[in-house]
Amino acid sequence: MTRPELWGGVECTVNRVGDRSYSQLTRSGHSERLSDLDRLAHMGLRRIRHGILWENVSTHVDEVDDWRAPDAQMEHLQSLQIMPIVGLLHHGSGPPGTDLMQVDFPERIAAYAGRVAARYPHVDAWTPVNEPLATARFAGLYGHWHPHRRSTAAFVRIVLNQCRAIVMAMQAIRLVSPSALYVHTDDAGTVYSSPALTYQADLENHRQLLALDLLCGRVDELHPLWHYLVSHGASHAELDWLQAHATPPDVIGADYYVTSDRYLDENFDAYPPESVGGNATTCYADVAAAGSLPGWTCGFESVLRRLWARYSTPVALTEVHIGCTREEQLRWLAEAWDAACRASDDGIPVRAVTAWALLGSFDWDSLCTRESQSYEAGAFDVRGGTPRITAVGRACTDIATTGSFQHRVLGDSGWWSNSAPRRAACRAPLLIFGARGTLGAAFVRRCTDRRLAYRAVERAEIDVTDADAVRRCVAASGAWGVVNATGYVNVDAAENDSSLCDAINSTGAINIARACAMHGIQLATYSSDLVFDGMKRDAYDETDTPNPLNIYGHSKRASEIGVAGVMPAALQIRTGAFFGPWDSHNFPLSVVRRLQRGETVYASSSIITPTYVPALVDSVLDLLLDNETGIWHVSGDAALSWSDFARELADICHLDGRLIRDGSPSQLGWIAERPVNSALTSRRGALLPAFSKSLEEFCAAYA
């Protein structure tokens, strides 16, 4: 049996909310970067899902098509020998002037399909409408997307219109290319329930396959949903037409996410309020089965087997993506690939696994109903402007070129699984120096949460200024990576204790870097915003020249230079003033406690970028797994003074901000000179969530 191929795809949704369209291609920058296709070719991909979306070619239903962008892309794909599976509608409803519920919607999309096929006759595979069932749910049943209907009748009408559109589009395409393949895609989740809601789960599971059944000509009077359809507006004539013009897929694609499988429970008090809904008779919670249903297991393999058994048609996983930490993304991809290979080895014709959202995706946590800073990286991270390959991208490259991949984090199962891992892998640890400090303790906590093996070393165990002791520790650890979270952190005390500050911050960091370089181990080490003099009016990026004002800043700059000298591949993180919920001695906690006591709070007017420790640690772990090197600025996105930081805290905690005053250095007890502006920004990619979100999380944790 032929092993599955690795396909790829760039998230290309164009959905309408009200009178506004949200384009993933615009937000990722892919629509303006032809060079992205070279990146996909370099990964070894030879087949991709590629959108030539109706909304992007026709800005209005009655206007002339603009082929400039797709012409350039299709020509370049041909030169790279990448074959596209062309999609025409991806959760959209067409350009302005069209509507999923219009009577002539199928004819309009079919006419567009014919024009695309005539222009690109070499295309051999098509997905005219992506996820017709899921789109009907979100647009017709739940009202999230245009035309914002919330009724079963609207849902039925949108499903029927899209299915008729697929049939007519493939007819138009096959007039040009008679052997063109139809690749069907839709969400492939299963609905589970408590015993009392079995009837609802049965309905939803039949409904989940409704579009496929309609396209395969299976919906007759004996079908479980025949009366459901007829009673909500479907005519016998149109159901008969779909039977007579059955257009079964050549490949059935399963889009399977960690939230695809659902669990329905009438005991809804145990679930978040936003998960509670119901039907006409029962109120119940609708939640992801992962994490909610005891005994649930990831369903990649069962989905492939179920679809093959039901339709006897070749299958594929057409969207494999999870928005999570990097090691969980790798584990999810590994589960999908292993499941597809097992099914293939058992004789099931599994055509491919599709690494989806190669450039990441935006705002799917809100179902693309608003535009915020919510971004999930994929094989590439686009937040720096130029796509940066991640560990997921390297894994995809290995699969595409060798048929398998290994990674040190695959020894543990993902958060969604309670079963033992199916892969044998060496649990090499991450070695953490400075385990008792704020950063070190945060790394210990997040490694535990993320199921990353680690070894934490305290200052009492290893003196980082002792080069031999550091070298022995690194050599004996068996670590794949090292985090240097040690540091002399008292900026004012350093003015009178420069030798100890230099020894820990500079000599110690260089000792660790030299040991890592000797043993070929990755390193992440920390610097500071205080390497800058504050003379720049804007935030400092990685290209700005350091010029520290105090002993602490000089020690950090010496560390940067020394570490780069002995280990150019080290990852060096400059960050701003950090705060977090796991440290009892930090600025925001002090502010909140003093305001609660009604005390006046003095804070500096110097400009900083407050940085939330949990998010900082997660980002650095991801960068380590991505094999990133050099200096990165990883800090919050808000440049504000210490005193304004305190006022933001007072506001969100409902405390009296009038007690906050701008304080002079003497009032604050400062000895060391500080820059008036040490705000940071990054040219390499802003990795942290919005400051406002971090502040809310901090206050919730404190409360």
**DSSP class of 429:** P
Residue 586 confidence (pLDDT):
82
Residue 258 confidence (pLDDT):
95
Same domain, 150 and 196: yes
Same domain, 535 and 462: yes
Q: Is the pLDDT of residue 617 over 80?
A: yes
Q: Is 51 exposed, middle or buried (0-12, 13-18, 19+ CB in 10 A)?
A: buried
Residue 280 confidence (pLDDT):
87
CATH number for 648: 3.40.50.720
End-of-domain residue from the set 411, 438, 464: 411
Residue 418 confidence (pLDDT):
63
Same domain, 25 and 96: yes
CATH number for 88: 3.20.20.80
Q: Is the pLDDT of residue 432 over 60?
A: yes
Task: Report pLDDT digits (tens) over 188-222.
Answer: 999 999 999 999 999 999 999 999 999 999 999 99
Q: In this structure, is residue 421 part of a structural domain?
A: no
Confidence of residue 422 (pLDDT cuts 50, 70, 90): very low
Query: What span, in angstroms and rounded, lies between the C-alpha atoms of 200 and 228?
Result: 13
Closest CA to 323 of 369, 257, 394, 367: 257
Neighbours of 341 (CB within 10 A): 18
Confidence of residue 423 (pLDDT cuts 50, 70, 90): very low
Mean pLDDT of 24-44: 95
Task: Report pLDDT digits (tens) over 688-699.
Answer: 888 888 988 888
End-of-domain residue from the set 411, 442, 457: 411
Q: Which helix (H) or strand (E) holds 99?
A: none
Residue 387 confidence (pLDDT):
96
Find the domain containing 502 and state its range. Answer: 430-702
End-of-domain residue from the set 362, 378, 411: 411
Q: In this structure, is residue 326 part of a structural domain?
A: yes
Same domain, 386 and 451: no
Residue 425 confidence (pLDDT):
45
Query: Tokens standing for 287?
Result: 């939640």
Same domain, 199 and 344: yes
**184 DSSP β-pair partners:** 252
Q: In this structure, is residue 419 part of a structural domain?
A: no
Please spell the DSSP secondary structure of 568-632, one letter per residue. TT-EEEEE-SEE-TT-SSSHHHHHHHHHHTT--EEE---EE--EEHHHHHHHHHHHHHTT--EEE
Residue 419 confidence (pLDDT):
52
Same domain, 482 and 368: no
Task: Report pLDDT digits (tens) over 354-379.
Answer: 999 999 999 998 889 988 878 999 99
Q: In this structure, is residue 423 part of a structural domain?
A: no
Same domain, 402 and 479: no
Task: Report pLDDT digits (tens) over 255-299.
Answer: 999 999 999 999 999 899 999 999 989 999 999 999 899 989 999
Confidence of residue 584 (pLDDT cuts 50, 70, 90): confident
519 dihedral zone (left: phi>0; alpha: psi -120 to 50; beta)? alpha
Q: How far is CA 150 from the centre of its chain?
A: 29
Same domain, 156 and 294: yes
233 against 689, higher pLDDT: 233
Closest CA to 73 of 111, 119, 109, 42: 119
Residue 59 confidence (pLDDT):
78
Q: In this structure, is residue 420 part of a structural domain?
A: no
Same domain, 341 and 489: no
Residue 378 confidence (pLDDT):
96
Task: Report pLDDT digits (tens) over 113-154.
Answer: 999 999 999 999 999 999 999 999 999 999 999 999 999 999
Q: Is the pLDDT of residue 560 over 80?
A: yes
Query: What span, in angstroms and rounded, lies between the C-alpha atoms of 175 and 326?
Result: 45
Task: Report pLDDT digits (tens) over 497-553.
Answer: 999 999 999 999 999 999 999 999 999 999 999 999 999 999 999 999 999 999 999
Share above pLDDT 70 across residues of the chain, in percent, rounded to a whole number: 98
Q: In this structure, is residue 43 part of a structural domain?
A: yes
Give the number of domains in the chain.
Answer: 2
Residue 157 confidence (pLDDT):
98
Same domain, 157 and 96: yes
**Cα distances (Å, whole numbers) of residue 283 to 141, 504, 565:** 17, 60, 64
Confidence of residue 1 (pLDDT cuts 50, 70, 90): low
Q: In this structure, is residue 443 part of a structural domain?
A: yes
Q: Is 455 helix (H, G, I), strand (E, B) or coil?
A: strand
Same domain, 481 and 370: no
Same domain, 87 and 150: yes
Those residues whose C-beta lies under 8 Å from the C-beta of residue 654, and which sit 6 or more positions away, are: none
Q: In this structure, is residue 424 part of a structural domain?
A: no
